[in-house]
Chains A and B, each alone.
Chain A
Amino acid sequence: EDQVTQSPEALRLQEGESSSLNCSYTVSGLRGLFWYRQDPGKGPEFLFTLYSAGEEKEKERLKATLTKKESFLHITAPKPEDSATYLCAVQARGAQKLVFGQGTRLTINP
């Protein structure tokens, strides 16, 4: 069974304090790993798709990396507006369904 585990569940940082969120996964042949950001009361917003180990993608203060077992979302010099829940999801080859992790609730204090 495909599984996604995110850690930590919650993370509180000071503005400017860089850190990383972890997404560990087991999947029967990875088609893609996705990162989404979700603000309270809103739908998730797409951030990145990673397809193969060694791949990296960046957007502003965020950088996502992928290995054969896990993905990291690195946040460099975060700002309060980066506060959100970050969701990781995987899609197996041949499957249409995404399997989501439980998310990491990130709070950036000014």
Chain B
Amino acid sequence: DTEVTQTPKHLVMGMTNKKSLKCEQHMGHRAMYWYKQKAKKPPELMFVYSYEKLSINESVPSRFSPECPNSSLLNLHLHALQPEDSALYLCASSPGTSNEKLFFGSGTQLSVL
């Protein structure tokens, strides 16, 4: 299994909703990442988990809350988002913590109304 699976593929939420994005990989990778990507822009790093511990938080607002329950799963909890948070949210994993090669999921297209 060489895939990173993200659910849901699409999500529409209101500004008062609470929702979660899920990401799963079964490649035994030790690092997992959340990226945010706006249309026609490159991915922007949000969080990095190395060996299930948060190692990088790129000054992301607290309305985004990551969680890594185990080495295969990564969640992103969303609460009180703003319309400008609408974007493609990408999960990625890598075999080690040195970013040798990132495997990306297909993303969750999020719309905040």
Contacts and interface: CB of A to CB of B under 8 A. Distances in A.
A29 interface: no
Interface string B3-40: 01000000000000000000000000000000000001
Contacts of A46: 101-103
A51 B80 CA distance: 42
Given A43-B104, A46-B101, A46-B103, A87 B109 contact: no
Interface string A31-48: 110101000011111100
Please classify how large the interface on chain B is, using the bins under 10, 10 to 19, 20 to 34, 35 or more.
Answer: 20 to 34
A91 interface: yes
A98 B45 contact: yes
Interface in A29-75: 31-32, 34, 36, 41-46, 49
Interface stretch (A11-19, A76-84, A100-108): A100-108
Contacts, number: 56
Contact of A96 (B48, B92, B101): B48
A103 B99 contact: no
Contacts of B98: 31, 96
Interface of A: 31-32, 34, 36, 41-46, 49, 87, 89, 91, 96-98, 100-103, 105
